[in-house]
Amino acid sequence: MTYLNTIIIDGLSFAIPLFIMAIGGIYCERSGVTNLAIEGLQGMGAFVGALAATLVSGMFAADSQAPMFIAMAFSFLGGGLYAVLHAVLCVKFKANQVISGVVINILATALTTFLTSEISTALFGAASNRFRLTTSIRLTVPGLSEIPVLGAIFTNIYPFELAIILVALVAWYVLYKTPFGMHLRACGDNPHAVDAAGVEVSRVRFIAVMISGALSGLGGICFAYSISVQFSSAIYMGYGYLAIAALIFGNWQIMPTLWACLIFGFARSGGFALTQVMELPSAFTDLFMTLPYIVTLFLLIFFSKSNRAPRALGEIYDKGKR
């Protein structure tokens, strides 16, 4: 397998989970609620999913993929439920949305680290701060995988990549083609008009925040399966913020955000391949893993002037003000 194929395969396995997290951020911020909590939402969601997979893994054969799909379902639910905290603080109690997001990130890191260690000791008799996960199968599409260069898109695909693409299509349809999606987008631009139309702004925003948490949790557990085949709070550092950068670069729209995620994914896999081509010591791997963040800086420098955030983003909605 050529280095180019490896860059494409590994880039997609990173970009697609990042994309679903960014979609979650789009839902939240298009409703008018600033979401810096994606990092914490993905971590807590992945923790719940990894715990569920670990508990049921003994019920299935060693090569069964059922624990992974169970983990994805529970991560979706866990992230959504944890996002209720952000929704309650920002929507119900009208707390500062930036501070709420930062606190939720810190709380998630502390809780998942503590709970993972305690549960590992109590249930499994092992003093460990991580959950071991089963290895995911990889799928290759016959015929299409043999196409030069582009065939890499259809080679060694994780099953979760296909699941995420399906979820992303549903998310796109809901956001742009349904009344709920229209109300959600209007809440981020003109919440008073939504209220005047008889739609409860707080309810729409609450649901949007929960959707953001659910999609972030789904992305988080997929990173766990693709990056290290284990859950640990250490593997998520920066991915939530990278998803935020992607949706900003994508101008809070789903399809442009996909391209941003692909750029970040290929920058990451390209950096790793570069260390192999140059036969550099393993210490340089961490240095080259910063490429997505360096790319982020340059993209925001050159394109941020053309970005147009939702007009009511970050504004606390007061029904009495018009």
Q: 233: Cβ–Cβ under 8 A, 6 or more apart, which residues?
A: 43, 47, 108, 109, 112, 113, 116, 129
Q: 183: Cβ–Cβ under 8 A, 6 or more apart, which residues?
A: 194, 199, 204
What confidence score (pLDDT) does residue 49 get? 97
Tens digits of per-residue pLDDT, 80-111? Answer: 999 999 999 999 999 999 999 999 999 999 99
Amino acid making up residue 259: W
Length of the chain: 322
Q: What is the mean pLDDT of the chain?
A: 91
- Cα–Cα distance for residue pair 115/118, rounded to 1 Å: 5
Helix pair 3-30, 179-189: axis angle to 10 deg: 70
pTM: 0.95
- Cα–Cα distance for residue pair 11/102, rounded to 1 Å: 28
Q: Which of 3-17, 133-147, 222-236, 246-260 has the lowest mean pLDDT?
A: 222-236
pLDDT at 169 over 80: yes
CA 311 to chain centre: 24
pLDDT at 1 over 70: no
CA 128 to chain centre: 25
Tens digits of per-residue pLDDT, 62-71? Answer: 889 999 999 9
As to burial, measured by CB atoms within 10 angstroms (0-12 exposed, 13-18 middle, 19+ buried), residue 309 is middle
Distance, first Cα to last Cα, the chain: 61
Both structure tokens of 260: 């941003």
Tens digits of per-residue pLDDT, 144-164? Answer: 888 888 899 999 999 999 999
Q: Residue 271: which pLDDT band, with cuts at 50, 70 and 90? A: confident
Tens digits of per-residue pLDDT, 303-322? Answer: 777 788 999 999 988 776 65
